[in-house]
Amino acid sequence: MHKRTLGNSTLEVSALGLGCMGMSFGYGPPGEKQAMIKVIRRAVERGVTLFDTAEVYGPFKNEQLVGEALAPFRPQVVIATKFGFRIVHGERQPGLDSRPEHIREVADASLKRLGIETIDLFYQHRVDPDVPIEDVAGAVKDLIRAGKVRHFGLSEAGVDTIRRAHAVQPVTAVQSEYSLWWREPEKELLPALEALGIGFVPYSPLGRGFLTGKIDETTTFDATDFRNSVPRFTPEARKANKALVDALAGIAARKDVTPAQLALAWLLAQKPWIVPIPGTTKLHRLGENLAAADIELNAQDLRDIGAATARISVQGDRYPEHLTRLVGR
């Protein structure tokens, strides 16, 4: 797989990464450990070098899984993890915590769980309104000086926050949701990142699975699946939003690719410093997703996609209200 550089940094990664959250958290029961290790290691074999996790996924279980799976390949992979939530006795608590002393504690704990000496990319998971971003950036800068972290990232941060953080410690990458059914980053975020020389790592590039075309209004989710609480995934919203998937499916069929591959190829075509991180727990889906890196979309393809999606208004918010309050700060 070809490589991309995140912004003006020295961090070079595969054009597509692997989001590992769903293996342990968020989309129903955790996957069987050895099966998930097999998926991660197959990704390495296919040329993936960027693997995304966080302490809160589990909590802790996903970092342990990723660390074990990637141990034989450490020199050739980039491991990204995140700090910023409150976790007590292995349970996530309400609120955020990006106090510098807590950031240092999380870094040390994540290093142990991952079994590594340096975190390649350390994101603030959500912006903490009670801690100045300059203090957060300064804490990560100290960790970089200490050799515990290589690169600083932000997740779901607003443009002003990104600029302020970047002035203290250069931000290598910003991670936010971006896909053909959530294009808000195009308004302010992407122009700001381009101006600042910061890479962009879209999560949920397949719309939490919806853009695969395998979900409709009759689909049922496990009781522990996060999508049960998402307004965009009510049966009514899914029925309305199927129009978007149907439009993309027609274009995908003409290109002899799947809707998922078309959605990922579209993201890759937006900017050379964008690195999506689709997640999966299935080997065949991994292969399908990674094949998107070899799909070339020409100018007419992009116009067709733009015209098809412009006619459709996606229904439902991407997060329930209590989580919407945590993004774009």
Cα(166)–Cα(158) distance, integer angstroms: 12
Cα(241)–Cα(189) distance, integer angstroms: 25
Active-site residue 57, yes or no? yes
For residues 9 and 199, is the Cβ–Cβ distance under 8 A?
yes
User: How many CB atoms sit inside 10 A of residue 293's CB?
Assistant: 20
Supply 109's token pair: 């704990």
For residues 17 and 70, is the Cβ–Cβ distance under 8 A?
no
Task: Give CA 164 to chain center in angstroms.
Answer: 22
Residues facing residue 179 across a β-bridge: 182
DSSP type of residue 149 = E
Task: Count Cβ neighbours within 10 Å for each residue of 102-111 and write b for 16 or more, e otherwise.
Answer: bbbebbeebb
Catalytic residue among 27, 57, 123, 203: 57
Q: In this structure, which amino acid lies at residue 213?
A: G
With CA atoms as reference, report the closest residue to 100 among 27, 169, 2. Answer: 169
Active site residues: 57
